[in-house]
Structure 1
């Protein structure tokens, strides 16, 4: 119990405080969530992704192992989400909103700080989290955009929207510059560093602003869907990750640090990206906001439990 309380106080509550500040700012000043979402999508997220990929030493072997895990994990998670969608008889945009709330998780503004806190700033586990974050940065900007628009837009319009997302260009550029050891001029490196440093705080505040702008009372019509989403994300998510890690251990070399980092990375709540997509493309914003709110609130306990179990 002492370990659990330590994790709760030192790992999870600091993030909750930042989110609470965002909630308070929204309640007092009524901030513009679309402006904040665009800053996160087009400025802070690409900057931190470039900075982390360019500056963090990540071996090809680790990249391969993590990508193999992520591919298996997302396929199985998508299958679970599809079962839920069909069992509930969801239609139209609600189908994509449910899938997004389960498959897109907060690996950046929640996952990176929780990784740093849970593993005491270990650069190796941070590398694992960065690779997971890379995949979770790509998916909402590609599959996520398709998912919320497929029922109402054509392929050409969806393609143009996807190609306008900077993160899909930042990732290969960062890998190429690092691979060929191309130095970044100080006049460019310094602004990137400033933006990357601002990412976590800004993203947590943005999540708080979004939560503060919505009704905290989950409508009766959406309660079952929200609870299904939270169960799949916070309970089935880490449980599935643990099973995959156990299975992969028979085929690839998987040390405790990598395995633990993958499980913790899979335990975080639904991503703000699902809300930003819902707001940006007017696709079930009420459900998406409520799913993020409920999963973020419940994660205060569930994430602490997951960290507790991997550490013992």
Structure 2
């Protein structure tokens, strides 16, 4: 229990503090959240991703294991959420939001900061989380959009939008410089380090500011509860099963198990709001899953260390 408490106070509690700071600042100053999100998407996150990939060496066998796991895991969550929505008798619009809330995980603003804290001395743990972010972005703008707008965008448009994402360019550039062992001049490396160093704080403060806009009073309903249970409890259990079946171990297994426990992605709420599909339910699910994840993620981090540490 002491070790579990230590994980909470050293990893999860600091996240809560930053979320609270973001919420408090937003209530007082009413920041332009779209501008803050763009700052993260176009500056902080790409730089953090670039440096992590640039500094980390990943064997092709490990990369293959990770890709296979992610494909199986995301596929299983799609199937599971589909049948749970049918079992609950949800209407088409509510079913779409429910499925997105289970499948789309907050691997960016929440996942990468957690990974950087947990794997501070093991860069491969963070690199795996970066790969998961890429897969989640693809899932969001294909499966997630399809659920909400019945694929009104063509396949070519989706690919075009995906290729515009700065994080993709950062990933490719990081891989190229890593493979060819190209040194970054100090003139550029120093500011890049400063930006990457600020990513965790800025990402979590922004997430806290965004969550502060969601109303608490209407959050308590069946769909939200079942969604969060599926995302935060069933998701990690399924991930653990696949990790054992694929015979993954060590830091890779730890990173994948922890990544499976993150709360519902803010993107699921943003998409629902943009296309006016049960946006209140989507927002409430994001907030509730983020709050509850403080406990569940703490336990999963502890479990991952006991099983694979």
Q: TM-score, normalised by structure 2?
A: 0.86
Contact 2:42 2:166 in 1 (8 A): yes
Task: Give the C-alpha shift of residue 190 in structure 1.
Answer: 4.5
Unmatched tracts of structure 1, length 5 or more: none
- Answer whether contact 1:101 1:291 (CA < 8 A) is retained: yes
TM superposition shift of 1:166:
3.0
Aligned length: 306
- Contact map agreement 1:62 1:128 (CA 8 A) in 2: no
Q: Partner residue of 1:6?
A: 6
Alpha-carbon offset, residue 188 of structure 1: 4.8
Of stretches 264-273 and 30-39 in structure 1, the one that deviates more from structure 2 is 30-39
Q: Residue 273 of structure 1: CA displacement?
A: 2.6
Q: CA RMSD in A?
A: 2.6
Q: Which residue does 1:262 correspond to in 2?
A: 256
State whether residues 138 and 167 of structure 1, in contact with CA within 8 Å, keep that contact through their aligned partners in structure 2. Answer: no
1:212-236 CA-partner distances (Å, limit 9, x unpaired): 112112356xx21111210111001
Structure 2 SS opposite 1:213: coil
* Aligned residue in 1 for 2:58: 58
Q: Verify: 1:298 aligned to 2:292, yes or no.
A: yes
Worse overlay, 4-13 or 49-58: 49-58
> 1:67-216 alignment to 2 at 5 Å?
67-119=67-119, 121-150=121-150, 158=158, 161-184=161-184, 188-216=188-216
| 1:96 shift after superposition | 3.5
CA deviation after TM superposition for structure 1 residue 90, in Å: 3.6
State the Cα distance separating 1:295 from its structure 2 match.
0.7
- Contact 2:243-2:249 at 8 Å conserved across structures: no
Runs of at least 5 residues in structure 2 that lack an aligned partner in the other structure: none
Which stretch of structure 1 is more off in the superposition, 24-33 or 41-50?
41-50
How much has 1:100 moved relative to structure 2?
2.3
In the TM superposition, residue 134 of structure 1 has moved relative to its aligned partner by 3.2
Deviates more, 1:18-27 or 1:92-101: 92-101
SS at the partner of 1:105?
A: coil
Cα distance change, pair 146–192 in 1 and its aligned pair in 2 (3 A)? farther
Instruction: Provide TM-score, normalisation by structure 1.
Output: 0.86
Distance in structure 2 (CA, Å) of the matches to 1:180 and 1:73? 32
Q: Distance in 2 between matches of 1:120 and 1:42?
A: 24
Greater Cα shift, 149-158 or 199-208: 149-158
State the Cα deviation string for residues 256-293 of structure 1 (Å, max 9, x = none).
33222211111111122323333444443322221111
Query: For the residues of structure 1 that align with 2:172 and 2:297, how far apart are their CA atoms?
Result: 31
Query: How far apart are the structure 2 equivalents of 1:56 and 1:193?
Result: 15
Contact 1:115 1:121 in 2 (8 A): no
Once the two structures are TM-superposed, the CA of residue 44 in structure 1 deviates from its matched residue by: 2.6
Displacement of 1:76 in angstroms is: 0.7
**Contact 2:141/2:158 (8 A) holds in 1:** no
8 Å CA contact retained: 1:49, 1:134: no
Q: Structure 1 residues 160, 12: closer, same or farther in 2, change over 3 A?
A: same
1:20 aligns with 2:14: no
